[in-house]
Amino acid sequence: MTTRRATRATTAPPLRLSTSQRVVAALAAVAVLLAACSSPSVTPPPHHRGRTTRPSASPVSSRSTFPPGTPAWLSTLERAAAGSPSYLQPGSDPSVLPGPVLIADRNNSRLLLVDPKGQILWQYPPPGTPTTAAFRSPDDAFFGPNGKEVIATEESNFALSTIALHRTPTGPEPVTGTVTWTYGHPGVPGSAADELDNPDDAMLLPNGDVLTADIKNCRILLIDPGAHVPTHIYGETTPYCYHQPPARFGSPNGVFPMTNGDYLVTEINGDWVDEMTPSGSIVWSTHPPGFSYPSDSNEVSPGVFVSVDYTKPGGLETFNQQGQVLWRYTPTSPSGVLDEPSLALPLPNGDFLLNDDYNHRVIVVDPHTNQIVWQYGHTGVPGSAPGYLDKPDGVDLAPPFSLLVAHAATMGLPPASFAPSAPGLNASSPGGSTAP
């Protein structure tokens, strides 16, 4: 037992101060008190990297310099949007974001690029374009590792699309998008070659391959650039999904890159998260603690992961490899409660960006204060006008802060031995399947 050693205070005779000295001392004390009151101390979660805030700045779209790695098409959009209206909700702090946000606005069948001030920089398809079966209900969208294209997952349309971005300084839009590849038959679910059934969170790898979860086929697909036959199938193609990786996956809804070159797989059935190597081996599995419908788990830092609970009320939490919760956000106030959120991404300053699907908003949550510090969209009110969303189902930051650009240098590539799978292949060996 440790004891505290007692010390006896010694007193000195009182010190006499002149009137001017007393005034100076009093002013100094007031200054110290004011400084203490204006700088409240907040203890961050134990796992947290620490919040760093950017200084207040003018609207990002009016800046004349851009972070290294900003693609030319993005700087063109930001300059073109200078002076345009802002559509943020009151109380939003633009400085919490490092750059624009890409939003997959599912029920409006569009992608929106919104800057931190709430200015709309870009929309695909362009405003006024009729919705077609070729591009409908984007569920997720991520910039590719080169920052020059977007891959969009159309879960309820059973398709994936890559969209190339082009500067068009002489056209009606400063930047246009062109669909360069589609996998799957829009509107038609299936399990054979060039068929999907509720795909989710497709990722472009640095070599051009596509890795995607295929929820209702209980599998993960690797697809060569431009191909319409899988290069490799992780897990068994079956409508009966349960957790037994790598032989089977329990309705996988996300495959996100990790900094060690592996991938983090989320399985809905049974509340599972797995670390999977590019060759298909499972390193470990755990439960996001307390969740019933985990969605799109990804890495915050080595050993720390974030997931959301796709329920009402929903939740946001960080946890470790042992399934221990490190921080949890489950507010109950009307303005804070989550309604089936499906993706949260860590921000460079330690906050979290997430789409709160059925609240029809995209928000940033500060884990130090458990407060929403940025919001685009009107809580609980769907719409298509500027400032409104209708079931936003995915987010990404713009390059150079986007998910796949940030992970490009460390993303693991599947073995070169993987060969194109046979069309219609329905089963696999425990490590996955390739053609003979």
Q: Which of 324, 310, 304 is nearest to 269 (CA)?
A: 310
Percent of the chain with pLDDT strictly greater than 70: 81
Residue in the structure block whose two tokens are 């559509």: 87
Tokens linked to 343: 């993706």
Model confidence over 209-237: pLDDT tens digits?
Answer: 999 999 999 999 999 999 999 999 999 99
Q: Where are the domains of the chain?
A: 60-407
Given a cut of 80, whether residue 417 has pLDDT beyond it is yes
Return d(Cα 117, Cα 87) in angstroms, integer.
8
Lowest mean pLDDT across 3-12, 97-106, 245-254, 288-297: 3-12
Return d(Cα 76, Cα 338) in angstroms, integer.
35
Residue range 90-116: average pLDDT?
Answer: 98
Model confidence over 277-314: pLDDT tens digits?
Answer: 999 999 999 999 999 999 999 999 999 999 999 999 99
Lowest mean pLDDT across 128-142, 185-199, 203-217: 128-142
Determine the residue type at 188. Answer: V
Model confidence over 314-350: pLDDT tens digits?
Answer: 999 999 999 999 999 999 999 999 999 999 999 999 9
Residue range 193-210: average pLDDT?
Answer: 97
Give the CATH H-level superfamily of domain 60-407.
TolB, C-terminal domain (2.120.10.30)
Residue range 258-271: average pLDDT?
Answer: 98
Return d(Cα 163, Cα 155) in angstroms, integer.
16
* Confidence at residue 147, expressed as pLDDT on a 0 to 100 scale: 96
Lowest mean pLDDT across 40-44, 144-148, 293-297, 307-311: 40-44
* Confidence at residue 419, expressed as pLDDT on a 0 to 100 scale: 65
Given a cut of 50, whether residue 434 has pLDDT beyond it is no
Under the banding of pLDDT at 50, 70 and 90, the label for residue 67 is: confident
| Dihedral of the alpha carbons of 364, 366, 369, 370, in degrees to the nearest 10 | 60
Under the banding of pLDDT at 50, 70 and 90, the label for residue 17 is: very low
Kindly write down the DSSP assignment for every residue of 376-433, as one continuous string. ES-TT----STT--SSEEEEEEPTTSSHHHHHTTT-----TT--PPPTT----BTTBB
Percent of the chain with pLDDT strictly greater than 90: 76
Peptide bond into 246 cis (omega under 30): yes
* Confidence at residue 173, expressed as pLDDT on a 0 to 100 scale: 82
Return d(Cα 229, Cα 93) in angstroms, integer.
46
Given a cut of 50, whether residue 397 has pLDDT beyond it is yes
Return d(Cα 182, Cα 151) in angstroms, integer.
10
Lowest mean pLDDT across 49-63, 68-82, 130-144: 49-63
Tokens linked to 342: 């499906």
Residue range 252-279: average pLDDT?
Answer: 98
Return d(Cα 158, Cα 34) in angstroms, integer.
59
Return d(Cα 138, Cα 113) in angstroms, integer.
14
Residue range 58-85: average pLDDT?
Answer: 78
Return d(Cα 289, Cα 323) in angstroms, integer.
6
* Confidence at residue 232, expressed as pLDDT on a 0 to 100 scale: 96
* Confidence at residue 265, expressed as pLDDT on a 0 to 100 scale: 98
* Confidence at residue 27, expressed as pLDDT on a 0 to 100 scale: 40
Peptide bond into 313 cis (omega under 30): yes
What are the beta bridge partners of residue 165? 177
